[in-house]
Amino acid sequence: MTAVTDQDHAEHADHPEDPPTGDEQPSESEPAAAATAEDETGEQDDDTSPSTDRTDSATAWDDGLIARRVNETTATATATATATAGAVAAASAEQAAVVETRASDPQTAGPLAYEGALRSRLDALRELVGLSRTRLDSRTLSEAGRVLDEAVARRKLSGQHTVVAIAGATGSGKSQLFNSLAGVTISETGVRRPTTAAPIACSWSDGAASLIDRLGIPPRLRRRPSQQADADGQLRGLVLVDLPDHDSAAVQHREQVDRVLALVDAVIWVVDPEKYADAILHERYLRPMAGHSEVMFVVLNQIDRLPGEATDQVLDDLRRLLDEDGIALGEYGEPGATVLALSALTGDGVGELRESLGQFVAERGAPARRISADVDAAGWRLRPVYATGRRTGLSEEARDEFAARLADAVGATAAGEAAERSWLRNANRACGTPWLRLWRWYEDRREPATGRFPLRAQPDEEATARQRVEQAVRTVADRASAGLPGPWAQAVREAAVRGSQGLPEALDELAARAGLPPGRPPRPGWWPAAVLVQASMTILQVVGGLWLLGQIVGVMAPNLGVPVLLMVAGIIGGPLVEWSCRVAARGPARRYGTEAERRLREAAAGCGRARVLDPVAAELLRYREVREQYGRVMGVGTAAR
């Protein structure tokens, strides 16, 4: 690239009457300083000469760029008007902005396409946001939503163009570098600060109007490079944007920088030997954008001010600072930021930047890499609400412990013991001696019959049971939410609390249905035989007693041996039969009590599972789904469960 010099302008001023020849076309006669300063501030419109107005009326604007197309019918008129205004153009040649005036067909720019892994990651991010809307607040998901919106907006625009912003601090020489790359003075440079008040765009090819519209740059701030810079085709497809100073004292300038940086495909950071280590640059921009290193150029400008080997020393220190910021450097063929040293004033190193920039633009991969880096950044911001370093979920041990706590709350163990005692009592009643049965019948008349065990007889017992249920729910919720990120742990606890509402009453109802059946417990098959034997023992006692009574009265002949033997056999045999039946009844009674306890435990466990464990498991399953989607977003495949 050849910069515009004072000698070139002087030669043009010495021969103002020379008409344009060959492929050379006349340039516009409006001053660049006025076009830049006045248009950026919006205080006044561009100044145009009468000849320019006539040219505008006879020509058409191409996609918003200040690039007039001259056809064959108007070429003669344009040349005449330019020759007439030659003296004015020579006087302001130092500040004139070169715009494209040669005829060319508009470039057809197809939309950008996301392929392979990037498309899969965007789909996963969209699914992740959709699954998380009811669990995370809108502020947490705002960055991910913005990335999705920008990805959709960029995909609809040209995939043949690469939008690159030039950013830098006050006095870094970014506008001078911008002009040097364009081959013409487009952006105003000078000692007044801030010089650049609004973004200025320069496009090396047609079809980029929609991309520039997306940046919010009006048509009056759009330029084309010099014919020489545009004709070589090295930067074809490039849209270069000169930004205001990122450390400007004007707040609106910094806001414009932040807004445009979020929309461009790549950025060239221009630093100078004095401010390359500025904390604002590193802490506010470079460090947060460390993941965008593949779409980043860092240029050390003004090396003409450094003596001897100082350039290499400053460049090494700059690389060290970038490494501390976490920015990967594109060295030895590895992907990363490109770091160069140059002087926009003397042109030293600008050719190397142009070559690197040309290769970068020719690859047509910057938009996709920028979106991929944005997805990475959004994913890392969401990491605290999705990632966990430990295994999550409810173990079988925790589920069994929860069921056991509910069973204790409804008194399953006590109910089983009561069922066992009831079975034994029924056996004693059936197989006991008549005299003992009469005594127990008398006791039963004084006390209510024992058929069903009263589980909730006292208010204090009900309060204790409710506390046990609440404690069981809290314990299982804490175990289920252990290790989960904050929002998902809260969702699990809320699901458990919602399920616990009305759980004590439901347990009472189930305990009543699944508890002891009304009436007496069932009898085994050997009970009738035991009852018959016990009746025989009673008959022996009665027969022996009547025989003795008859002998005493004198009705029967005296014979004490036989009646006494019968009575002793009945008296001893009755309790012996009762004791034998009691021993034989222990096994069935224990089984009967165990079965009653099992039914009550299963009923309590089923109620707790339906009301608490299933909603908690649903929340855990939802978290696993979003965790898997988050793994796809971060490009690690299936996330660790």
The letter for the amino acid at 484 is L
Count the neighbouring beta carbons within 10 Å of the beta carbon of residue 400.
Answer: 11
The average pLDDT across 465-487 equals 88
Instruction: Give the model's confidence band at 231: pLDDT under 50 very low, under 70 low, under 90 confident, else very high.
Output: low
In a domain, 26, yes or no: no
Pair 339, 401 in one domain = no
Pair 285, 189 in one domain = yes
Average pLDDT over the chain reads 76
Pair 358, 420 in one domain = no
- Residue pair 4/186 in contact (Cβ under 8 Å)? The answer is no
The DSSP secondary structure of 351-410, one letter per residue, reads HHHHHHHHHHHHTT-HHHHHHHHHHHHHHHHHHHHH--SS--S--HHHHHHHHHHHHHHT
Cα(281)–Cα(637) distance, integer angstroms: 35
In a domain, 114, yes or no: no
Is the per-residue pLDDT at 4 higher than 50? no
The average pLDDT across 232-256 equals 90
Pair 316, 439 in one domain = no
Residue where one domain finishes, among candidates 363, 388, 415: 363
The DSSP secondary structure of 292-342, one letter per residue, reads GGGGEEEEE--GGGS-TTHHHHHHHHHHHHHHHTTPPB--TT-SSBEEEE-
Best CA proximity match to 361, nearest among 263, 240, 269: 240
How high is the pLDDT of residue 584? 72
How high is the pLDDT of residue 299? 96
Higher pLDDT, 228 or 432: 228
Token digits of residue 494: 């809320």
Q: What is the pLDDT of residues 581-602, one digit of tens each?
A: 777 777 787 888 888 888 888 8
**Pick from 38-42, 289-293, 570-574: least confident:** 38-42
Distance of CA 451 to the CA centre of its chain: 59
Pair 165, 236 in one domain = yes
**Pick from 167-171, 456-460, 608-612: least confident:** 456-460
Is the per-residue pLDDT at 486 higher than 80? yes
Instruction: Give the model's confidence band at 636: pLDDT under 50 very low, under 70 low, under 90 confident, else very high.
Output: confident
Gyration radius (Cα) of the chain, Å? 47
Residue where one domain finishes, among candidates 346, 363, 380: 363
Pair 199, 284 in one domain = yes
Higher pLDDT, 372 or 506: 372
Is the per-residue pLDDT at 104 higher than 70? no
Helix (H) or strand (E) holding 62: strand 61-62
Pair 215, 354 in one domain = yes
In a domain, 274, yes or no: yes
Token digits of residue 281: 């640059």
Cα(41)–Cα(595) distance, integer angstroms: 89
In a domain, 147, yes or no: no
Residue where one domain finishes, among candidates 363, 385, 420: 363
Count the neighbouring beta carbons within 10 Å of the beta carbon of residue 550.
Answer: 14
Is the per-residue pLDDT at 469 higher than 90? no
The average pLDDT across 433-438 equals 68
How high is the pLDDT of residue 576? 78
Using H for helix, E for strand and C for coil, what is the string for 383-396?
A: HHHHCCCCCCCCCH
In a domain, 384, yes or no: no
The average pLDDT across 360-366 equals 93
How high is the pLDDT of residue 374? 95
Provide long-range contacts, Cβ within 8 A and 24+ apart, for 87-94.
87/16, 88/29, 88/49, 89/12, 89/16, 89/26, 89/27, 89/29, 90/9, 90/12, 90/13, 90/16, 91/13, 92/29, 92/31, 93/8, 93/9, 93/12, 93/13, 94/4, 94/6, 94/9, 94/185
Please name the residues in contact with 380: beta carbons below 8 A apart, sequence gap of 6 or more. 291
- Residue pair 323/333 in contact (Cβ under 8 Å)? The answer is no
Pair 610, 490 in one domain = yes
Looking at mean pLDDT, say which of 449-458, 556-565, 598-607 comes out highest: 598-607
Is the per-residue pLDDT at 100 higher than 60? no
Query: Where do we find the tokens 């944005």?
Result: 374
Compute CA distances 86 → 3, 7, 19, 78, 448, whole Å: 21, 17, 9, 12, 124
Pair 596, 504 in one domain = yes
Q: What is the pLDDT of residues 512-523, one digit of tens each?
A: 766 555 555 666
Is the per-residue pLDDT at 318 higher than 90? yes
How high is the pLDDT of residue 521? 64
Is the per-residue pLDDT at 630 higher than 80? yes
In a domain, 253, yes or no: yes
CATH number at residue 261: 3.40.50.300
The average pLDDT across 477-489 equals 90
Best CA proximity match to 609, nearest among 519, 474, 500: 500
Over the range 178-203, which residues count as b (16 or more CB within 10 Å of their CB) and which as e? bbbbbbbbbbbbeeeeebbbbbbbbb
Token digits of residue 547: 């025989």
How high is the pLDDT of residue 216? 93
The average pLDDT across 2-9 equals 37
The DSSP secondary structure of 185-217, one letter per residue, reads --S--SSSSS---S-EEEESSSS-HHHHHHTT-
In a domain, 565, yes or no: no
Token digits of residue 305: 């001010």
Is the per-residue pLDDT at 552 higher than 50? yes
Instruction: Give the model's confidence band at 27: pLDDT under 50 very low, under 70 low, under 90 confident, else very high.
Output: very low
Structural domain of 422: 396-443+461-525+589-634
Cα(455)–Cα(470) distance, integer angstroms: 18
Pair 226, 274 in one domain = yes
Instruction: Give the model's confidence band at 49: pLDDT under 50 very low, under 70 low, under 90 confident, else very high.
Output: very low
Q: How many domains does the chain have?
A: 2
Cis omega (within 30 of 0) on the bond before 307? no
Is the per-residue pLDDT at 21 higher than 50? no
Using H for helix, E for strand and C for coil, what is the string for 117-171?
A: HHHHHHHHHHHHHHHHCCCCCHHHHHHHHHHHHHHHHHHCCECCCEEEEEEECCC
How high is the pLDDT of residue 282? 95
Beta bridge partners of 298: 269, 339
In a domain, 93, yes or no: no
**Angle at CA of residue 531, ends 527 and 537, nearest 5°:** 145
Pair 210, 352 in one domain = yes
Is the per-residue pLDDT at 638 higher than 50? no
How high is the pLDDT of residue 285? 95
Instruction: Give the model's confidence band at 183: pLDDT under 50 very low, under 70 low, under 90 confident, else very high.
Output: confident
Strands 200-203 and 238-242: antiparallel
* Helices 527-553 and 412-431, packing angle to 10 deg: 40
CA atoms within 13 A on the CB side of 528: 1
How high is the pLDDT of residue 537? 79
Task: Lay out the sheet containing 238-242: strands in order across.
Answer: 222-223, 200-203, 238-242, 162-168, 266-271, 296-300, 338-341
**Pick from 51-55, 146-150, 425-429, 437-441: least confident:** 51-55
Helix (H) or strand (E) holding 6: helix 6-14
Is the per-residue pLDDT at 74 higher than 50? no
The DSSP secondary structure of 582-593, one letter per residue, reads HHHHHHHHHHHH
Instruction: Give the model's confidence band at 457: pLDDT under 50 very low, under 70 low, under 90 confident, else very high.
Output: very low
Pair 432, 289 in one domain = no
Count the neighbouring beta carbons within 10 Å of the beta carbon of residue 363.
Answer: 10
The average pLDDT across 554-581 equals 77
Q: How far apart are the first and last CA of the chain?
A: 57
